[in-house]
Amino acid sequence: MTSTQSWGDNVLVEFEDGIAWVQLNRPDKRNAMSVGLAEDMNKVLDALEVDDRCGVIVLTGVGDAFSAGMDLKDFFRATDGVSDVERMRAYRSTRAWQWRTLMHYAKPTIAMVNGWCFGGAFTPLICCDLAIASEDATFGLSEINWGVIPGGVVSKAISTLLNDRKAMYYVMTGEKFDGRKAEELGLINEAVPADQLRARTVELAKVLLAKNPTVLRQARLAYKYARYMDWEQAAEYLTAKADQTTFVDPERGREEGLKQFLDDKTYRPGHGTYQREG
Ligand code: COA
């Protein structure tokens, strides 16, 4: 069943078969991200984390843009003339959804890049777990072209996915690139023709929805935290995380998977997910 809900003036969420299509909804402004949009996105992400209609989030944009980046008028102009504290609050609100919340979200996230993707839009793109783009989507670190650096956490975010030569090239030239190039750079998982974008995203979301959600959450978070640890710390952390996963998993997935493989011999982990109830 499909239903649609607006969050403030800036975000539209469509629920369909376990997928929450979270759509930045300022098509007239190419979904540029304003302070108001940040406030709405913080509310949306907070609500969807405990909403049973949402098993996977797909982040995308209404119209022909994913997002044209930070709103140069509403964000920069609006925060130029205010007090330090107000400015700090605006930045914190934006960073909260674009980075902190998305990076460590309780549910899997896919960015679906349907068109323009510039500057600040790289942060939520990179902080989603996975990303699919239309081959003809246009990406760019355009900041250098209008007199600023890739700020917020954009420079940090790109350094987690691109190698230094490639990242520096785009930081310094502001050159645009398409979805195919984004795939080659490792910025996204894959680029597909525009008319297959939604179908391929649904296909991927369904793979995620079929997994044990507790184990999937633990696996995503374990990867994201372990990559910043040294080997000794990671070994200890991951062993403890694995034990924690067994402890908190209401499905008892580990037990069930081992039973189906080793005892019942009804299933092979190499071929897919163990048979889950329901
Ligand atoms: N901030 C504020 N407003 C923006 C915006 C942004 N990042 N991107 C687009 N808009 C606004 C335009 O000002 C215009 O508003 P108006 O109708 O009130 O004049 C409206 O959105 C449509 O934009 P327009 O430039 O006419 O659309 P286009 O389809 O010709 O071009 C882009 C699309 C994305 C190529 C172009 O808008 C652009 O270069 N935007 C800035 C991208 C950028 O550098 N972002 C980095 C920010 S960190």
CB count within 10 Å of CB 216 equals: 19
Quote the ligand 1 centre to 162 CA distance (angstroms): 26
25 C-alpha to center of ligand 1: Å?
14
Residues 114 and 156 placed together within one structural domain of the fold: yes
Same domain, 253 and 188: no
Give the model's confidence band at 210: pLDDT under 50 very low, under 70 low, under 90 confident, else very high. very high
Residues 218 and 203 in one domain: no
Q: Give yes or no for residue 101 having a pLDDT over 80.
A: yes
Indicate whether 278 pLDDT > 90: no
Residues 196 and 254 in one domain: no
Please tell me the distance from the alpha carbon of residue 122 to that of residue 136, in angstroms, as a whole number: 17
Ligand 1 binding pocket (C-beta < 6 A) is 28-30, 32, 68-73, 116, 118-120, 142-143, 146
Q: Which of 209, 237, 271 is where one domain is finished?
A: 209
User: How many domains are contained in the chain?
Assistant: 2
Distance 54 CA to ligand 1 centre (A): 31
Domain membership of residue 203 (yes or no) is yes
pLDDT at 236: 98
Q: Is it the case that residue 110 has pLDDT exceeding 80?
A: yes
List the residue whose alpha carbon is closest to atom 16 of ligand 1.
29
What does the DSSP 8-state code read for residue 114?
A: -
Secondary element (H or E) of residue 61? strand 56-61
Identify whether 37 is part of a domain.
yes
Pocket-testing residue among 24, 30, 72, 148, ligand 1, by greatest number of atoms within 8 A of Cβ: 30
Whether residue 128 is contained in a domain is answered as: yes
DSSP state of 3: E
Q: Say if residue 180 is in the same domain as residue 225.
A: no
Give the closest residue (by CA) to ligand 1 atom 36.
Answer: 68
pLDDT at 74: 85
Q: Are both 103 and 170 inside the same structural domain?
A: yes
Question: Residues 176, 122: one domain?
Answer: yes
- The answer on 221 and 126 residing in a single domain is no
248 contacts: CB under 8 Å, gap ≥ 6: 214, 218
Q: How would you label 220-248 residue by residue, b for 16+ Cβ within 10 Å and e otherwise? A: bbbeeeeeeeeeeebeeeeeebeeebeee
Query: Are both 95 and 175 inside the same structural domain?
Result: yes
Task: Render pLDDT for 142-199 as a digit per residue (tens, 0 to 9).
Answer: 999 999 999 999 999 999 999 999 999 999 999 999 999 999 999 999 999 999 999 9
Residue nearest to atom 27 of ligand 1 (CA): 30
Q: What angle do CA 79, 82, 85 make, to 5 degrees?
A: 95
pTM of the model: 0.97
- Pairing of β 19-24 and β 177-178: unpaired
**Ligand 1 atom 40 nearest Cα:** 68
pLDDT higher than threshold 80 for residue 84: yes
Residues 120 and 257 in one domain: no
Q: What is the mean pLDDT of residues 138-142?
A: 98
209, 233, 251 - which closes a domain: 209
Nearest atom within ligand 1 for CA of residue 65: 34
Determine the 3-state secondary structure of 230 from DSSP.
coil
* pLDDT tens digit sequence for 39-58: 999 999 999 999 999 999 99
Range of the domain at 246: 213-263
Do 92 and 74 lie in one domain? The reply is yes
Residue 1: is its pLDDT beyond 80? no
Q: Token digits for 152? A: 């917020």
Instruction: Identify the H or E element spanning 256.
Output: helix 253-258
